[in-house]
Amino acid sequence: MLLSAPAGQPGGSVELDLSWGAQYWLLPAAGESILARFNCLSISAGVALDQHGAPSATSAAEVFTVVPAFKGAGTLVLTSRRLIGLLLMGSSLQGEVDGNRGQLLAFQLALREMSEVALIRKRGTFSSKETGIWVGCKDESLLAADLDQTISEQRRPSKTDRAAVTRQIVAAAAEAQRPHASTGEEQAMLERALSGQWEESSDELIARLPAPISLPAASERQQRDADDAA
């Protein structure tokens, strides 16, 4: 969501239940706690749209195309129920983003809707280097980030251990999803994710999650499929 706010001053979005203090310090909403903060050299996201440009969350279509939603630099925060962030410089489908002029883009991704969390690696001759993470949701939306620095609550920066952060996001998402995992397979997926039984390719390690909380449109499609099968 593209927002206009006084540069560097406190602000927020009622719709996203998101607020920040001076210098864009993101604050937790009621009932959630901050688990980790990051400065990001690059944050990008893709959103799934149907042929009419409607997002999958509000469309009953069967086929969607993932299109770039935004890309740039900013800050990302992991809380006990979601990933929240501010793009401070970059571009988006809604327009240019420039925090110095008070043009910000705020976003969130609920932990209970995450279906994939991946560690991106670049293989060298003798070893591999971790370069970032990406998160996917059941509605086919994606968020990728190059986590440059981890920021303490005392605002001290340190080098980010991307593998540890990936495990932290997986653990937080599993904790948020566990109360809603009603089948044996969903519980088994959570245990595999938590125990490190991830899918591996030449450039990624991917943890799969059940994301048992479906978006309304997805639920409608599932019901229609069930009706057709009957």
CA 31 → CA 15, 67, 110, 186, 210, distances in Å? 16, 33, 14, 26, 24
What φ, ψ does residue 201 adopt, rounded to 5°? -130, -175
For the stretch 165-193, pLDDT in tens is 999 999 999 999 999 998 999 999 999 99
Q: From 2.40.30.10, 3.40.50.1820, 3.40.50.720, 2.30.29.30, which CATH number describes the 2-55+64-229 domain?
A: 2.30.29.30
Q: Do the Cβ atoms of 135 and 111 come closer than 8 Å?
A: no
Give me the residues of the chain with pLDDT under 70, please.
Answer: 53-64, 125-127, 213-230
Measured between alpha carbons, how far is 152 from 36 in angstroms, rounded to an integer? 8
How is the chain split into domains, by residue range?
A: 2-55+64-229
- pLDDT value at position 65? 77
- pLDDT value at position 220? 37
- pLDDT value at position 39? 94
- pLDDT value at position 14? 92
- pLDDT value at position 205? 94
Place of tokens 């440059």: 148
For the stretch 91-109, pLDDT in tens is 998 899 999 998 999 999 9
Provide the angle, in degrees to the nearest 10, between the axes of the packed helices 162-177 and 184-194: 160
Measured between alpha carbons, how far is 194 from 133 in angstroms, rounded to an integer? 17
For the stretch 41-60, pLDDT in tens is 999 999 877 777 666 555 56
- pTM, two decimals, is 0.83
Residues with Cβ within 8 Å of residue 118, at least 6 apart in sequence: 133, 134, 135, 136, 166, 204, 205, 206, 207
- pLDDT value at position 33? 95
- pLDDT value at position 59? 59
